[in-house]
């Protein structure tokens, strides 16, 4: 997606340790017009598929998933929660995810009430690096007996391999920008052609 690549080039910052900061428009300050264009792009890619639910993970995936849902007939968006909360029942799917950003493992939960065997799910998240968060969401869909119809990602860090592994596993993965390499010294970012 040209527009997203241009925004990353213009407003993204490359930091040491494979960190790409896009918090000016994607995951701290949110450009909702860009989110809407991203939703339209995913809808075009996944057209013809029946999507009954969008599943994402807190916090950065929620905004783009909710805006994108409009392009999928306003299907419900469920967001996986990163910790036990007294507002949730015990009747949950649980998995464990390692966060690259937070550098620790944490439990991820989805209420059984909101995901089941009849669901055809589109997974949405802001970043895909090694794929640990996505594998957590896929794990939850497996627990629920739900079908993963596709995966919509804003920014894939292609050089970390998680995306290609998911493609090899047969998932229909649509990453709107795939960073092939980035240099914290020069700030250069190369996208997959």
- Counting contacts by CB under 8 A, is residue 101 touching its own copies? yes
- Counting contacts by CB under 8 A, is residue 30 touching its own copies? yes
* Cβ neighbours around 150 below 10 Å, total: 18
Contact criterion met (CB below 8 Å) for 50 and 72 = no
CA-to-CA distance for 132 and 99, rounded, in angstroms?
A: 7
Query: What DSSP state is assigned to residue 82?
Result: S
CA-to-CA distance for 124 and 154, rounded, in angstroms?
A: 8
DSSP-based three-state secondary structure for 139: helix
By C-alpha distance, which of 50, 28, 53 is closest to 144?
Answer: 53
| Binding region for xanthine | 20, 27, 157
CA-to-CA distance for 177 and 99, rounded, in angstroms?
A: 21
- Counting contacts by CB under 8 A, is residue 164 touching its own copies? no
| Binding region | 20, 27, 129-133, 157
Please identify, using beta-carbon distances, which residue of 70 and 120 lies nearer to its own copies.
Answer: 70
Task: State the nearest-atom distance from the C-beta of 141 to its own copies, in Å.
Answer: 15
> What is the pattern of x (binds its own copies, CB under 8 A) and - over residues 59-88?
x--xxxxxx-xx---xxxxxx-xxx-xxxx
Task: State the nearest-atom distance from the C-beta of 103 to its own copies, in Å.
Answer: 7
Please identify, using beta-carbon distances, which residue of 55 and 134 lies nearer to its own copies.
Answer: 55
Task: State the nearest-atom distance from the C-beta of 68 to its own copies, in Å.
Answer: 9
Strands 120-128 and 147-157: parallel
Contact criterion met (CB below 8 Å) for 135 and 34 = no
Task: State the nearest-atom distance from the C-beta of 108 to its own copies, in Å.
Answer: 12
Task: State the nearest-atom distance from the C-beta of 169 to its own copies, in Å.
Answer: 27
By CB under 8 A, the residues from 107 to 126 that bind its own copies are 110-111, 113-114
- Counting contacts by CB under 8 A, is residue 35 touching its own copies? yes
Instruction: Tell me which stretch binds its own copies (CB under 8 A): 103-111, 131-139, 156-164, 170-178.
Output: 103-111
CA-to-CA distance for 134 and 154, rounded, in angstroms?
A: 13
Residue appearing with tokens 């999928």: 72
Q: Which residues bind its own copies (CB under 8 A)?
A: 17, 19, 21, 23-24, 27-33, 35-36, 58-59, 62-67, 69-70, 74-79, 81-83, 85-88, 101-103, 110-111, 113-114
């Amino acid at each position: 997606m040209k527009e997203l690549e241009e925004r990353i080039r213009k407003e993204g910052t490359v930091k040491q340790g494979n960190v790409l900061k896009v918090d000016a428009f994607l995951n701290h300050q949110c450009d909702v017009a860009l989110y809407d264009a991203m939703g339209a792009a995913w809808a075009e890619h996944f057209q013809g598929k029946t999507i009954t639910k969008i599943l994402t993970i807190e916090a950065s995936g929620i905004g783009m998933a909710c805006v994108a849902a409009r392009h999928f007939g306003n299907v419900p968006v469920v967001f996986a929660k990163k910790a036990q909360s007294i507002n949730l029942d015990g009747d949950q799917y649980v998995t464990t995810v390692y966060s690259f950003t937070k550098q620790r493992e944490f439990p991820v939960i989805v209420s059984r009430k909101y995901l089941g065997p009849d669901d055809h799910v589109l997974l949405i998240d802001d970043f895909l690096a090694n794929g640990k968060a996505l594998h957590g969401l896929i794990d939850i869909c497996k627990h629920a007996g739900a079908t993963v119809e596709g995966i919509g990602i804003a920014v894939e860090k292609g050089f970390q391999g998680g995306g290609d592994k998911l493609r090899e596993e047969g998932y229909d993965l649509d990453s709107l920008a795939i960073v092939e390499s980035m240099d914290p010294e020069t700030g250069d970012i190369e996208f997959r052609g």
